[in-house]
Amino acid sequence: MSDLIKDLSELRLNYQKGELHEDQVNPNPHMQFLQWFNHALAAQLHEPYAMSLATANAQGRPHVRTVLLRGATEAGYDFYTNYDSQKGLDLAENPYAELLFYWQEQERQIRISGKVVKISEEESTDYYHKRPRESQIAAHISTPQSGMVASREELQQRFWDLHQQVANQEELDKPGFWGGYRLQPDYYEFWQGRPNRLHDRLSYEKIDGAWKLQRLMP
């Protein structure tokens, strides 16, 4: 255990890759999100569409995990999962959640908060059939998601059993327990790392249907 790091207090970076000014951002936070997101795509960052999703159950116990952004419009931000997963169970009890995008290479972070609703069955089915066939099969056999499984071998066997059963099926039906959610934003925060920990933080809060832009202390 001699290689164990005992003191992390000296580990830090001095951020200096960008600035964030009120007079330079888009007054529409979704458009500002798209601007930063497209920068991340153009820079070929690793999975810039990966985002942390924080939910909490009725007792306020939080859960956070990484999911993939699969749609981004003014109406909201889409992701897909098993409705019986911990995510789904939390959202059934408490429909409010938060997304976090962190692009380390650009020293940028975006938080998006709001109410989460299920997207239409039609949209969920359409996206399901765009997924690779192996991913479609995995959705069928991985249930209840986060449930216990005896071994990796059992999971693999369930996958290959269904793979063989549907080998001659041109199309798989979407399982009823699987589909999409949309976070409808009422709050955004854009963070740009700056030197000396004097980071730029700009928030957009929806008040009476309009977005209010404010600077936050770092």
Catalytic residue positions? 197
- Burial class of 26 by CB neighbour count within 10 A (0 to 12, 13 to 18, 19+): middle
Q: Which one, of 117, 116, 113, lies nearest residue 203 by Cα?
A: 113
CB atoms under 10 Å from CB of 147, counted, come to: 10
Q: What Cα–Cα distance (Å) separates residue 205 from each residue in 138, 186, 191, 210? A: 39, 6, 15, 8
Q: Which residues pair with 172 in a beta bridge?
A: none
Helix (H, G, I), strand (E, B) or coil at 3: coil
Q: Spell 48-72 as b/e; 16+ CB within 10 A means b.
A: beebebbbbeeeeeebeeebebbee
